[in-house]
Chain A
Amino acid sequence: MRKDNSDFSTAFVSEAGSYIDNRDYFAFMETDDMACYVLADGLDSDQELRSAEMVVKTVLENFMEKPSMSKRRLMRDLREAQEWLQFESRRVRLKASLLMVVTNYNKMVYVSCGNVRLYHFRNGRLNFRSKDHSLAQSLADDGRIPDEATSTHEERGNLLEYLGNPNGVHAHYAKKTQLADGDVILLATSGMWEDVELAEMLGALEEAKDPVMLTDTLEEVLLSKQHRTVNNYTAAAIYVNKVFQEKPKNRRKLIKRILIALLAFVIVGGGVWITLARMAANKAAALETMVESAQAADDYARAGDYAKALKSYSEAKNAAVKINDKIHKRLYTAEQKLSQLLVDGDGYVEKADFTKAEASYEKARKSAGLYPPFNVKDIEHKIDQLDSYAETASWMKDGDLKFQGGDYTNALKLYKKANKAAMESGYTSAQKELEKKITEANDKLTAIQQQLKEIQAGKLQAKGDRMMKDLDYEGAIDAYSGAQEIYQEIDKLESVLALERSIAKAEEKQSAEQQKNGQLPAGLGLSDGALNDTDAGDAASNASASVAATPAAESQTKATPTASAGTTPAKKEVSSAAKNSGTGDGNASSAKAGTSKEQGTADSASKAEGASDSENQDRAAANGS
């Protein structure tokens, strides 16, 4: 209850002067915690509306709704009054000067607009006066006229600010002033302060003991001047007999609050600072990335590596977006698009779609001149090469057709031709493909060659077999050898080995034949009984039996191939000995006696073979029977 614990008394006088209408208006409101005093001076001549009354009521209504001393609130009230005046200005421009004083019975604030004045007296002297919004006041502020002259200067009515001004309202808000017991606040319109000088006001203040006396005295002073025309005048006096005493502030509590506020400020401020620092760091990093990426992209573009340039321009553009650098974003977007066109062109070349490639390159060529890293000549060179690429692709296609038709030789020729052209024109993507195709064609040709040789070898082998049948062992060996060579050439080792056996067999047969032919008399002597058993007419059948016995011999050879091989010289030796001993039987027996153990072994082996042969012979005969 501030009002009850303070003593403020108010009185006012407001008259029309020598006019019918009083266009001044004063009203005040005292609530438990605050009081508001509003004085306005209507400046227009509208016959129906009273602008002063309108604005005072608007301001007081707002104050009643929510009493406040805040600047924001009071200025808002003033703006509402201004809007109301402008809304009602239909025929005449409604204007008013206004002064609003708000107090909490301890301190006061005021808002002024126009030339309604506030005088604050303390201890019988002027403490301060509000300033007018007039040209005279601005001249006084500039030091061109004395401050006292503002009440009489010709420009005192030339207002620079007032409510209802079509250019908007600009009021003055005075900060809180501490009130003291015995203070007197006087609110006066121009009708009062123009004709009552400050000295006269101070004189009236000295005499008056209450606001009623003061305002009455001021009116008397004004009227005593007996001007022919007396303007509307209003004077409102507020006597501050007792100021509301604020509770002494708890210093510890205050310090605590300050510390908490400080801490909150440090935390919030620190958070904000850290956030800002991070944002700045991120921005700096993004800027660095942008510059580096752009530099790299330019280098790639200069080097003609448009795929890498595209990637780098994209990174630079993203960095520009991060730092909200619209200019660079636009630049890198354009360069990225340009790179994309060139990459697309290269892609079309790889797919051999040269029409689309040319369209992409042409687009790129048109805009490349605007961006220095892009070499227009390089793009033109790409366009020029397209014909050569098309020709290469055509050859490759023809080669493919030949290849599909089995004409590997001609396909290979076309591939090689295309490959040469691709190398010359730098058509690297086609080059790789062509190399692959050349390899495939070569493989095909090699495979065919091998097959041919196999056939050739097969033929020789068959020939060898035929010759074996014809007992032409020499011819068979030659044929087999020929076939073996071919198989060796084509690395068919199994066939080589098989032929080796065939050759060995043929050689055996040949050897046996030769032996047979060369040792026939001695043989006959050694096996008379045998010969007795078989007549000479069966010689042919013996031969055939010998051939029929080949598998048995062969199996023996298989069983002891080394022995077989080892026996051959021994046999030959024996054979030669036999040949030598062919000169006489006695020699032969002595030779037998004189033969070494080794020879004996050879003999026994020979005998065993002979026995084996005889067994086979019997079997063949049995089979023959």
Chain B
Amino acid sequence: MQPYFVVSGAAVLFAVLLMIRIRLTRSSGSRTVSGIEIGNGQTIGSRSEQDDYFSSMTTTVGTLAVVADGISGLANGRMSSTLAVTTFTKAFAKLEDATNLNGYFAEAATQSNRSILQNLNGQGGGTTLAAVIVCGYQLHYGAVGDSLITIYRNGHFQTVNSKHTAETLLEERVLAGQMTSEEAKTSPVRNQLVNYLGYEGFESMELGSAPIRLYSGDHVLLCSDGIQEALTEIELEEIMRKGGTPQETADAMIDAINDKGFKSQDNATVLILAIG
């Protein structure tokens, strides 16, 4: 009878450990954020200078993450991205509560735009910007330009913001009957930015109408377009699926871009926030 006792004992032990694991897993999905782990990666690509700039900061209000992509085609791209990120972080540091985060985004964007224009002093320049604040399990965001904010959840991505490119204008022209959809799709200005910081016609940045609910295990990614152009969504999914810390994941993304070795590789920056 001895072997039966051993097997039964092992089965009971296995069941107990499984229950403990399930409970621990469930408890990790509780309503309070136990911590946000941050990772980042950046490559200069084949450009002569790095015009991407990023920053993250945690205060009593929450965790801020900002990625700015200086427009390389114009002069002063680096200055613009640095100035915008600095403006956002300084303003966030002064923030005392999370009651009006959309107001904070709008104010910081306006101030950044003004400062960049002042520094440009009539010269060309500017930057895109994607900023998120994770407050509890709520995601607030503001974006201008073509940088991407996306949430990786349950093995796939959910895009948060939209791109501010000429595609939208072209769509409007198609809808107005001024051009066909084929012409819009093949238009060379399709990917041209129509809204960015440092733009004289800048009015406002895109803001989430309501905070997005986050869950334990979610990853929030902020990517400059250098990431999106080099890696497909499927490739990004594969890297994310491998797991690891946010820093390891960000490094893996940059390694993947470098491995591809595109001749016209743009500056690429990724910032990953893992929700605990």
Hey, which bits of chain A sit against chain B, CB under 8 A? 18-21, 45, 47, 89-93, 95, 135, 154-155, 158, 160, 165-167, 327-328, 331
Contacts and interface: CB of A to CB of B under 8 A. Distances in A.
6 contacts: A20-B170, A90-B234, A158-B158, A160-B154, A167-B155, A327-B7
B49 interface: no
Given A165-B156, A166-B155, A327-B3, A91 B175 contact: no
Contact of A93 (B154, B174, B233): B233
B237 interface: yes
A73 B154 CA distance: 28
A93 to B, nearest CB: 5
Given A92-B233, A154-B212, A166-B156, A18 B171 contact: yes
B184 A20 contact: yes
Interface in B1-18: 3-4, 7
B60 interface: no
B159 A45 contact: yes
A95 B171 CA distance: 23
A91 B184 contact: no
Contacts of B263: none
A93 B212 contact: no
Given A90-B232, A154-B210, A166 B237 contact: yes
A332 B4 CA distance: 15
Contacts of A20: 170-171, 174-175, 181, 184-185
Contacts of B88: none
Interface of B: 3-4, 7, 154-159, 170-171, 174-175, 181, 184-185, 210, 212-213, 232-234, 237, 241
A95 B156 CA distance: 10
Contacts, number: 49
Contact of B156 (A91, A93, A331): A93
Given A20-B174, A158-B158, A166-B156, A89 B7 contact: no
Contacts of B154: 160, 167
A155 B213 contact: yes
A21 B184 CA distance: 11
Contacts of A91: 232-234
Contacts of A19: 171
Contacts of B7: 327
A525 B233 CA distance: 169
B237 A93 contact: yes
Nearest to A90: B234
Given A90-B232, A93-B157, A167-B155, 9 more contacts: A18-B175, A19-B171, A21-B181, A92-B234, A93-B237, A154-B210, A158-B158, A327-B4, A327-B7
A327 B1 CA distance: 10
Contacts of B156: 93, 95, 165-166
Give the 7 A-B CB pairs with smallest separation, nearest first. Answer: A327-B3, A91-B232, A20-B171, A20-B181, A92-B233, A166-B155, A167-B155
B232 A331 contact: no
Contacts of B170: 20
A328 B4 CA distance: 10
Nearest to A162: B156
A93 B234 contact: yes
Nearest to B174: A20
Given A20-B174, A154-B213, A328 B232 contact: no
Contacts of B159: 45
Nearest to B158: A158
Nearest to A48: B185
A20 B190 CA distance: 13
Nearest to B211: A154
Nearest to B171: A20
Contacts of B184: 20
Contacts of B4: 327
Most chain B beta carbons < 10 A, residue from A95, A154, A155:
A154
Contacts of A167: 154-155
Contacts of A90: 232, 234
Nearest to A165: B156
A93 B3 CA distance: 51
A123 B86 CA distance: 63
Most chain B beta carbons < 10 A, residue from A155, A158, A328:
A158
B235 to A, nearest CB: 9
A90 B232 CA distance: 8
A352 B227 CA distance: 86
A536 B71 CA distance: 185
Nearest to A18: B175
A447 B184 CA distance: 133
B234 A331 contact: no
Contacts of B212: 154
Contact of B234 (A89, A95, A154, A165): A89
Contacts of A160: 154
Contacts of B174: 20
Given A154-B213, A165-B156, A92 B181 contact: no
Contacts of A158: 158, 213
B155 A328 contact: no
A195 to B, nearest CB: 15
A96 to B, nearest CB: 13
Nearest to A155: B213
A92 B232 contact: yes
A407 B43 CA distance: 108
Contacts of B158: 158
Nearest to A168: B155
A115 B258 CA distance: 39
Contacts of A166: 155-156, 237, 241
